[in-house]
Structure 1
Amino acid sequence: MSKKITRWLLLRKFIAPVFLLAALTIVGTVGYVFIDDYTWINALYMTIITVGTVGFGEIQPLSNAGKLFTIFLIIASLATVAFYITMVTRLLLDGEWRRQYRLYKQSKRLNNMHNHVIVCGYGRNGKQACEVLRQNGITFTVIEQRQEYVAAAEHEDLIIPGDATKDEVLLEAGIMHAKALISALPNDADNLFVVLTARQLNPNITIISRASDDHSIKKLKIAGATNVIMPDKLGGAYMASLVLIPDVQEFLSMLSSKHNEKFQVTELEVTQAINLGELNLWQETGCTVLGVKQVDSKYRRNPTPDYILMQGERLIVMGSAAQITKAQKHLQER
C-alpha cells in the first residue's frame, strides 16, 4: 500500500466523525420540521442544542414522536463523540499518528533531496554501507521491504518501506536526482531487477551492486551496474591481507572509509590536457596524487611527473577538505 493511500486512510479516520455529525444535523433538522412542524431555523437550532447536549429547553412542545426522535439524536451524538475519542486515542497510543507524521516529514525531505545515495536493503551489507555514508556526511535514503529490517532501520533519517525492484518505489526515493544507488539485497535476482530498473530510470546514475555468485557478476554488469562487489570474497581477501600486511591494510581501509575535514580521498575531473608535473599539485595545494583513472577505465597508479593528463580522466587525490577544494580550483584554472 502506497504512502499516499495510507495517509488518505488515516485522514479519513479523522474526518469521518465530522461527516457523521453533519449527516446527523441534517437528519435532525429535517426530522423536527416534519415531525413537529418546526420552522427550518428552529429545527436547526433544536438539533444543534440536542446534539451538543447543552441542556437548553425545547423551543416548542414536543410530541411523543418528537421526544423519541430527540432521544435518538442524543444517543447518536454521544456514540459519535465516543467513537471519535476512542479512535484518536488509539491512533496516538499505538504510534500510528507518529509514524505517519514521520513519513510526511520524510516525503518533504525527499522532494528537496538531490545528489543523494539510495541504499536498497538494510541487511548486513546495507547497514555497513549506511554507517560509512553517515560517517562521511553523505545524504542517503534506505529502501527495505522486510518488516524486521524496516524496524531495525527506524533510527535512520529516511527509510522507505517497499520493494526496490518497483519503479514507483525508486521514484519515491528520488532516483531521478540521486547520484548513486547501492543494491545490497540478499538475492542476486533481486539485485539484477534493481539494477535494470534503476538504469532505465536514470541512465547517468552510479550503481553499485552486491553479488553472491560469480556467474551473476557479468549479468549485473550487462544490466547496467557500474561496479559489482562480492562481500564474501572481499572478506576473505581482507583477512588474508591482515596476516600479510596488517598495517598497510588498516591504512587502506582508513583511506576508503574515514573521511572528514582533515582527511579525504576523492577524485577530481580533468577538463583539459595538462602535464602532471606542470600542474605541481603538491606544491600548489598540498594534495597527494595517488593515481589516475583513464578514459578507458584503466588505472595508472602513482603516475610520474611527465604523465599527460587527458580531458575526461580523473585524478585520485588525498588531502584535507580545504586542500582538495584548492586543488579543484587550481585544476580548473589551468
Structure 2
Amino acid sequence: MQKDNLKNIILGLFALLGVVIIGITGFHLLEGYSFTDALFMTIITISTVGFREVYPLSPEGKIFTIILIIFSFGIFAYVVTTFTRMLVDGVFRHYYKDNKMKRRVAKLSNHIILCGYGRNGRQVAVDLSDHGEEFVIIEQDEELIETIRENPDLMYIHGDATLEEVLRMARVDRARALITTLPNDADNLFVVLTARQINPTMTIISRASHDNSDMKLKRAGATNVIMPDKIGGQRMAKLVTQPDVIEFIEYIILQKSKDVTLKEVSCTEMHSDYEGKSIGELNVRNYSGANIVGMKKTDKSYVFNPPPTQVLSSHDQLFVLGTPEQIRSLKDILKNPRRNSPVTGQETGT
C-alpha cells in the first residue's frame, strides 16, 4: 500500500507537470507571453486562485484557458488530496522509518531471519527476544507491519519473503538461521529454496501445514520442519497421559523466569586438558551445581543421562540443566582448569 501511494503521487506529479508545460506553451504561442508570464498564468489557472490575467486574453486564449481549467482542475485536486492523505496516514514518516530500518538491517551479521508475523511468528519473536537473540522480521501485510513499527525493539523488512531481493535485503547471506512461519506451504518452499541457495550453511526451520509437505521442505533444504497442528495434538494427548511430565518440561523450556533453564553448551572451547576425560573426572556437578542431562556426539547420536564414565570430546554438545549462574560456572570450568583439578592433578590458574 505504501508503494502504491508513492506511485500514485509520482504519477499525479508527472501529470501536473505535463499540464503546466502545455499551459506555458499555449499561452506563449496564443498570447505571446514570456516564459514568466506564461508560467504565472498557468499556475493561477490550474489552481483557480482567481488572480487577474497578466494581459487581456484573446478569444483563442479564453477558449484555451477554459480547456486548461477543465483538464487541470481534476489533476490538481487529485495531487493535493493524495499528498494530504499521505501526510495524514503517515506514509512519508513510514517511508523514512522503513529506509532507516533497511540501513540498520544491512549491517547485521550472524543474526536470525523470521519470515511472517502471524500467530506463530509473533510467538517466535517473543521467544527470540527473551533469549536475547538478534533477529529481523520479514512481513508484507500492512496491518502487521504497522504493529511491528510500534515496537522500537523489533527490526523488520516490509516485503514479500518469497522474493530473493527481499531476503537479500535481510542479509540472508550473513544470517546464521532462518525461520519461516508463512501459512502457505508453497510460500515456505520458495523461501527455503532461495535461502538455501544463497546461504548453504545456515539453519533453516520451516512451518508446514500439510502432511506431505514436510519431506518436500526437507528436500528443498530445510534443517527442520515443524507442523503446529501435529505438535499441538501430541501435546494435548500427553497432557492427558503424562500431565506432570509435560508441565515440568514446559516449565523448564518455556518459562520466562530465570530460576532454572535447559541450555546447550558447546565443547568447542573446552580446555585441551579435558580432551578425552570423563564427566566424572571433571566433577562438574560438585564444582558448578549444573547437571549434564544429555549429549550430542560427533556422529549426531544422542546420549541420555550420560554416566560419569562418559568421555568428552571438543566436538560434543552438552545439554545442561541448572540456573544461569550454574551454567556460567560450568562453561568457565570447561574453558579454564581449576586449582587442585582432579584432571590435571596440580595447581592451575583460575
Contact 1:285–1:324 (CA<8 Å) still a contact in 2? Answer: yes
Aligned match of 2:243: 246
Deviations 1:282-323 (A, max 9, x none): 455443322221111112223344433211211222344455
Compared CA separation, residues 95 and 320, structure 1 to 2 (3 A):
same
- Deviation sequence 1:155-192 (CA, Å, 0-9, x none): 4554766464x544543444323332335566767655
CA distance in structure 2 between the partners assigned to 1:212 and 1:50 by the alignment: 60
Deviations 1:122-179 (A, max 9, x none): 677656545544554545556678x7xx867864554766464x54454344432333
Secondary structure at the residue paired with 1:309?
A: coil
- Does the alignment pair 1:314 with 2:314? no
- The yes-or-no answer on 1:16 pairing with 2:5 is no
Aligned counterparts of 1:60 and 1:29: Cα–Cα separation in 2: 15
Matching residue within 296, 301, 305 for 1:302: 305
**Superposition RMSD in Å:** 4.2
Taking structure 2 as the reference length, the TM-score comes to 0.70
Partner AA of 1:198 in structure 2 = A
Deviations 1:102-130 (A, max 9, x none): 76566455434444444456677656545
Verify the 8 A CA contact 2:109 2:175 in the aligned structure 1.
yes
Amino acid aligned to 1:296: D
1:262–1:321: 8 Å Cα contact kept in structure 2? yes
From 191, 199, 204, the counterpart of 1:202: 199
Question: Quick one: structure 1 residues 239 and 39, their matched pair in 2 at CA, closer, same or farther if it must change by over 3 Å?
Answer: closer
Q: Which residue is 1:266 aligned to?
A: 263
Query: Residues 184 and 210 of structure 1 are in contact (CA less than 8 Å); yes or no, is this contact kept in structure 2?
Result: yes
How far does residue 250 in structure 1 lie from its aligned partner after superposition? 1.0
Letter in structure 1 aligned against 2:79: Y
Between the aligned partners of 1:15 and 1:108, the Cα distance in structure 2 is 24
Partner of 1:40: 35
User: Is contact 1:114–1:178 with CA below 8 Å preserved after alignment?
Assistant: yes
Q: 1:79 deviation in Å?
A: 3.0
Q: Retained in 2: the 8 A contact 1:221–1:227?
A: yes
On the 8 A contact 2:293/2:320 being kept in 1, the answer is yes
- Residue 175 and residue 23 in structure 1: after superposition, are their counterparts in 2 closer, same or farther (change >3 A)? same
Quick check: 1:171 aligned with 2:165?
no
One-letter identity of the residue aligned with 2:266: E
| TM superposition shift of 1:210 | 4.7
Q: Runs of 5+ in structure 2 lacking a partner? A: 149-153, 338-350
Q: Does 1:257 align with 2:254?
A: yes
Secondary structure, in 3 states, of the residue corresponding to 1:207?
A: strand
Q: TM-score scaled to structure 1, two decimals?
A: 0.72
